Amino acid sequence: MVSPDRAPDRLEGKYAAMAMCWLLGNGCLFSWNSMLTVVDYYVFLFPQYHPSRILTLVYQPFALITLAILAYHEAKIDTRRRIIFGYILFFASSLLVLVLDLATSGKGGLGTFIGICVISGAFGVADANVQGGMVGDLSFMTSELIQSFLAGLAASGAITSALRLITKAAFENSKDGLRKGAVLFFAISSFFECLCVILYAFVFPKIPIVKYYRNKAASEGSKTVAADLAAGGIQTLSKEEVEKCSERFSNKQLLLQNIDYAIDMFVIYTLTLSIFPGFLSEDTGSHGLGGWYAVVLIAMYNVGDLIGRYIPLLKFFKLESRKYITAATLSRFLLVPAFYFTAKYGDQGWMIMLTSFLGLSNGYLTVCVLTAAPKGYKGPEQNALGNLLVLFLLGGIFAGATLDWLWLIGKGCF
């Protein structure tokens, strides 16, 4: 049994845990990013339904409502079961996309679109279970682990974008090229989500540094880590011992103490999702790249987001001041007029640069907030705060996806 009173020598398994968190972060958004990245296929199938906007708008209420319920009951929920359920739902939903496409022979229509929307909602439920659970779980561990998980989230976007560029080029001149690329995407996605179920259930709990931090959280009164500790072969404290050290700030107190961080998360993602992916895939005009333009823009956003999540590893560039983080967050609103005038008067080079900066700033500020906020709290409080911040993150995504429709005003779409 690892002693909760001291860190393990040399933090055994730290790099293995970082690699595992990166892979699990990938799995958290790989299915959803696959759906976003093949949006050109869905725009072709359902041109009258604005799939790039509708799918995001369907996804978010399910994610938001599910996470709100989970965050409220966070202290009583078994984190292990929650996260495994989420990855299994990702796997099943990705498989259903394949089944639906094969069953309809790649034909459009309202019925098929409704089916895709239902699967999008299932992705939202899975995301709430996995992302909220993982961020909460990693919030009481070393900051490198949550940074790796967040980098994995962004890497899923970059990887799916790279795969999309490859499949688009490979199938461009073949019959049903768009469909073949999309089918390949979700076959890969299904396999990867199955892999994440295995990694989280059987490998991650046995890494020494993970066992140490979970045992430490249990010694501070956390009730959510018992199943994970058992999976790692560690005997947990008795209920009586847990009750003695279970005093902690309530969710309301934690939220009030960190309301600036919560608002920062909301604003970061409201701004980002008001532009990405809807505006970038439908409202940027005609350019020399033709059908490649939207795919390239989405790829540049994802690459920028990934790079931004690694910048805070350099201490000199990491923002830790609450005031500076808030100021940087609010300054991103200048991107709205920048995108509007670039789409209207600029060329594709400026749009690509702006899109890259949108992703870079999104990833950078996300890591700064989620690594700074939990400091100074006990394990159960850090877990709860992580869930609350992800709730505001998803709230921002929902608000941004709704505001994204404002770009269509004056285009005869209403």
The whole-number pLDDT of residue 1 equals 43
- Alpha carbon distance 202, 87 (integer Å): 13
Q: 319: phi > 0 → left, psi -120 to 50 → alpha, else beta; which? A: beta
Model confidence at 100, in pLDDT bands (50, 70, 90)? very high
Residue of 177, 93, 161 lying closest to 300 (CA atoms)? 161
What is the average per-residue pLDDT within 298-306? 89
Residue 178 confidence (pLDDT) above 80? no
Q: What is the pLDDT of residues 206-259, one digit of tens each?
A: 999 999 999 999 888 888 888 888 888 786 655 555 555 567 899 999 999 999
Report yes or no: 378 and 248 within 8 Å, Cβ to Cβ: yes
- Alpha carbon distance 129, 228 (integer Å): 16
The whole-number pLDDT of residue 123 equals 96
Residue 279 confidence (pLDDT) above 90? no
Model confidence at 16, in pLDDT bands (50, 70, 90)? very high
Residue of 187, 142, 146, 140 lying closest to 24 (CA atoms)? 146
Residue of 108, 135, 122 lying closest to 35 (CA atoms)? 122
Element (H, E) at 247: none
- Alpha carbon distance 312, 324 (integer Å): 14
Model confidence at 326, in pLDDT bands (50, 70, 90)? very high
The whole-number pLDDT of residue 33 equals 85
What are the distances in angstroms from CA 17 to CA 12, 83, 179, 199, 374? 9, 16, 37, 11, 19
More confident residue, 294 or 256: 256
The whole-number pLDDT of residue 2 equals 45
What mean pLDDT value characterizes the chain?
87
The whole-number pLDDT of residue 239 equals 57
The whole-number pLDDT of residue 404 equals 77
- Alpha carbon distance 401, 275 (integer Å): 8
What is the average per-residue pLDDT within 289-293? 68
SS3 per residue for 82-150: HHHHHHHHHHHHHHHHHHHHHHCCCCCCHHHHHHHHHHHHHHHHHHHHHHHHHHHHHHCCCHHHHHHHH
Q: What is the pTM of this model?
A: 0.88
The whole-number pLDDT of residue 4 equals 47
Q: What is the pLDDT of residues 114-171, one digit of tens each?
A: 999 999 999 999 999 999 999 999 999 999 999 999 999 999 988 988 887 788 778 7
SS3 per residue for 340-407: HHHHHHCCHHHHHHHHHHHHHHHHHHHHHHHHHCCCCCCHHHHHHHHHHHHHHHHHHHHHHHHHHHHH
Q: 202: phi > 0 → left, psi -120 to 50 → alpha, else beta; which? A: alpha
Residue 3 confidence (pLDDT) above 70? no
Residue 184 confidence (pLDDT) above 90? no
* Number of Cβ within a 10 Å radius of residue 287: 15
Model confidence at 288, in pLDDT bands (50, 70, 90)? low
The whole-number pLDDT of residue 105 equals 83
Model confidence at 413, in pLDDT bands (50, 70, 90)? low
Percent of the chain with pLDDT over 90: 55
User: Long-range contacts of range 411-414, CB-CB < 8 Å, 24 or more positions apart?
Assistant: 411/283, 413/50
Q: What is the pLDDT of residues 370-386, one digit of tens each?
A: 999 999 999 999 999 99
Backbone φ and ψ for 221, nearest 5 degrees, come out as 110, 5
The whole-number pLDDT of residue 278 equals 62
Helices 51-72 and 379-403: crossing angle in degrees, nearest 10, is: 150
